[in-house]
Structure 1
Amino acid sequence: MRLTVLGCSGSVNGPGAACSGYLIQVDGERPVLVDCGHGVFGELIAHADPSEVAVLLSHLHADHCLDLAAMLVWRRWSPQRATERSPLYGPPGTALRIGAACSEYPGEVDDISDTYEVHEWSDRQAIQVNGLTVEPIKVNHPPSTFGLRMTGPDGEVLVYSGDTGMCDEAVDLARDADLFLCEASWTHRPQVRPEGLHLSGTEAGQLATRAGVRSLALTHVVPWEDGDAILDEAGREYAGPLQLVNQGQVIEVRRPVGGPA
């Protein structure tokens, strides 16, 4: 399984910094796009045919989903326009949320069913898509957010936290993952950040340790925070391989040699 970071900026994008978007590829299968925040679609074009990707949305905040409006224009009107619908999985209300963003007229909702086959997540009910088994687990972030546990054809496990505050469900989600792609939006200063909305570096490290993950990759750092400080916090709580992801980075996700299937 191969992960390409299309964007990893938290909450808002910036110059050369797209919001959340991650391309997952399995050999011999069409790619899967996990989240599609501001700026992600432009990055996607360099790596995959937008008319062929399946899309998985963790939740419906703008920084995780609203570049799908650009993808819909591509899929409808470009010379490489889609000839078939692609799967789009997301929380309840996905078709309404994306349809409202795509409509040309205020107060109306575009029918996106010509290009997307929309499915809504059901907590802990796994689906099969493009060579992956994906289990959505509801986590602690408004309004309705799912972390995604993705298992590849060789048993390798990539877990994406989505956005979440600390919760036992996030530990269940990440249990024994080969790679835990975990949000760590800010440093651990409870007095200056909302409680239960996002993770600090400290909390991401604690969560990874509780879950026994084999490798931790931090993402979703907001532009006004210090990524190195967040990484340092996580390293004080988690003793395994640790990194802060960067846009354009490619990570191979594999089971350890001799590990369980």
Structure 2
Amino acid sequence: MKHLFIAILFLLLSTTVYSTEISLQVLGSGGPIADDARASSGYVIRLDGRGRILIDAGGGIFQRFGEAGLKMDDLTFVGLTHFHTDHSSDFPALMKSAYFGDKNSPLYIAGPAAEGKFPGLIDWLSALFAPGKGAYAYLSGYIDGDADPFVLMPVEIPLEEGRLSAVTSFESFSVTALPVPHGPVPSLAYMIKIGTIKIVISGDQNLSDPAFVAFVKNSDLWVMPLPIPEGAGRVARNLHALPSKIGEVAAKAGVKTLLLSHFMARSLADLDVNVALVKKQFKGQLLLAEDLQQWDLDIKAADKGWFITP
């Protein structure tokens, strides 16, 4: 009887995982310079059609959020990879938009701890919303508990190299974070697990930390920036990964689907060449991001991590 119960429970859990429709929508696929004619970084994971998870909110994401038909009421979690403007500048605008909605539960938000010239998440939110001194102090209710109807629940991620942080867990998904090397800038990658499905969205990084290979291992989907070409200079290579390195890590980690994004004019100029360098080592499914493009997980091919355009 005990074994029968366990078998039935396993079947129910498996059914729950695959009855959930999972999709990834790119809100912004560009970088920090307007010449790429794209919104900056931003990604939404939809569960059963609702945008539940937002990773990054760079310039232009506010508009794309509306164009995608998303609602702040549906958001459960926001993960900011780092505090460069092209990953975070539209967050205050989204919070103003939320003021006019009907959300009545806390919004969890994660971001890196302080390092060098960069604030930690708590200080960053304070600089935006603190009563009497924040840039948008009129929205202070989101952090002082007086907001109607919801508040922000910040989770600041330690920056110890190779340290995994269990950010938060909900009924339908969990989030784990890992610090990644982005020159002097504290940056994070996020792992979102939805049942047995594993999605990793990386902030800017140069892929020099071996711990990331284990972090992204066997991912169904890995979203990775491609802002520089193979011949980029020393400073750029300290901040970002070369195309060949992306292909190497994707292959080594056994990633099923790789979505390249966060393009800049310098990587778009020879995009075919850069993509070919990735494909030289990575033989899995490779996708190129465009603003507002959405991919649904092909449940029938979930063991291969295939994402398809609707």
TM score, norm. by length of structure 1: 0.86
Distance in 2 separating the partners of 1:99 and 1:258: 41
Among 170, 184, 188, the alignment partner of 2:226 is 184
Distance in 1 separating the partners of 2:221 and 2:58: 22
Aligned-partner SS, 2:123:
helix
Gaps of 5+ in 2: 1-21, 114-119, 305-310
How far is the alpha carbon of 1:176 from its aligned partner? 0.7
Distance in 2 separating the partners of 1:30 and 1:121: 23
| 2:254 maps to 1:212 | yes
- Determine which structure has the larger helix proportion and give its number: 2
After TM superposition, the structure 1 = structure 2 runs for residues 1-261 of structure 1, keeping only pairs within 5 Å, are 1-14=22-35, 16-27=37-48, 31-45=52-66, 46-53=68-75, 54-76=77-99, 78=100, 80=101, 82-92=103-113, 93-101=120-128, 110=137, 111=140, 112-113=142-143, 114=147, 115-122=151-158, 123-126=163-166, 127-129=168-170, 131-141=172-182, 142-153=184-195, 155-167=196-208, 168-191=210-233, 193-226=235-268, 227-253=271-297, 257=301, 259=303
Distance in 1 separating the partners of 2:214 and 2:130: 38
Give the alignment's Cα RMSD to 1 decimal: 2.7
Greater RCO, 1 or 2 (C-alpha within 8 Å, sep 6+) = 1
* Alignment size in residue pairs: 257
Distance in 2 separating the partners of 1:9 and 1:104: 33
Distance in 2 separating the partners of 1:250 and 1:95: 32
Give the AA of the match of 2:189: G
Distance in 1 separating the partners of 2:292 and 2:49: 22
TM score, norm. by length of structure 2: 0.74
Residues 174 and 192, structure 2, Cα contact 8 Å, conserved in 1? yes
Structure 2 CA distance for partners of 1:251 and 1:108, relative to 1, 3 Å: closer
Give the AA of the match of 1:22: Y
Distance in 2 separating the partners of 1:252 and 1:258: 11
User: Could you tell which deviates more after superposition, 161-170 or 44-53?
Assistant: 44-53
Distance in 2 separating the partners of 1:228 and 1:40: 26
Residues 12 and 38, structure 1, Cα contact 8 Å, conserved in 2? no
Residues 216 and 253, structure 2, Cα contact 8 Å, conserved in 1? yes
User: Could you tell which deviates more after superposition, 222-231 or 16-25?
Assistant: 222-231
How far is the alpha carbon of 1:51 from its aligned partner? 3.6
Distance in 2 separating the partners of 1:258 and 1:170: 23
Residues 231 and 243, structure 1, Cα contact 8 Å, conserved in 2? no
Distance in 1 separating the partners of 2:55 and 2:171: 13
Distance in 2 separating the partners of 1:223 and 1:101: 31
Distance in 2 separating the partners of 1:108 and 1:240: 45
Aligned-partner SS, 2:72:
coil
User: Could you tell which deviates more after superposition, 97-106 or 195-204?
Assistant: 97-106
Structure 2 CA distance for partners of 1:220 and 1:28, relative to 1, 3 Å: closer
Question: Which of 1 and 2 has greater Rg?
Answer: 2
Distance in 1 separating the partners of 2:303 and 2:87: 33
Residues 180 and 215, structure 1, Cα contact 8 Å, conserved in 2? yes
Residues 179 and 253, structure 1, Cα contact 8 Å, conserved in 2? no
Structure 2 CA distance for partners of 1:254 and 1:133, relative to 1, 3 Å: farther
How far is the alpha carbon of 1:175 from its aligned partner? 0.4
Aligned-partner SS, 1:96:
helix
How far is the alpha carbon of 1:244 from its aligned partner? 1.3
Distance in 1 separating the partners of 2:292 and 2:302: 30
Encode CA deviations 1:44-72: one digit per residue, 9 max, x unaligned: 12331124312111111111111011112
